[in-house]
Amino acid sequence: MWELPGGKVAPGEDDGVALARELHEELGVEVRVGARIGQAVALNATMTLRAYRVALTAGSPRPHDHRALRWVTADELTGLDWVPADRVWIADLAAAMRSE
């Protein structure tokens, strides 16, 4: 199953700070957080998922909290077994990848 890395926003953090922290913890990388991708996805009354573009600024991604990592092309995204909430962003993610 495929999942985008990220996590919860801690008290005192904004989305960008939380995402950079989580990517450092999960993948061992430093990033610059950019624009949002797609719409927010409400999971329940208190949890909302948001996706952002990021640029790698230091480090090489290593799976600290995940079993594996895999680079894929925009064309390969639709063929992966995504968790349901992440599927909402696939078209927007593919468009962002193609615009780079």
- 45-98 pLDDT, tens per residue? 988 889 999 999 999 998 887 778 888 999 999 999 888 888 888 999 999 999
Q: Is residue 43 part of a domain?
A: yes
| 9 lies in some domain | no
Written as one letter, the residue type at 95 is A
Task: Identify the CATH number of the domain in which residue 83 sits.
Answer: 3.90.79.10
In a domain, residue 39? The reply is yes
State how far Cα 44 lies from the chain centre: 19
Is 89 contained in some domain?
yes
Q: Structural domain tally of the chain?
A: 1
State the pLDDT at residue 3. 66
Backbone torsions φ then ψ of 17, nearest 5 degrees = -65, -45
pTM for this prediction: 0.84
Q: What is the pLDDT of residues 25-52, one digit of tens each?
A: 989 999 999 999 999 999 889 888 899 9
CB 89 within 8 A of CB 77: no
Structural domain of residue 21, as residue ranges? Answer: 15-98
Structure tokens that stand for 89 in this block: 């962003």
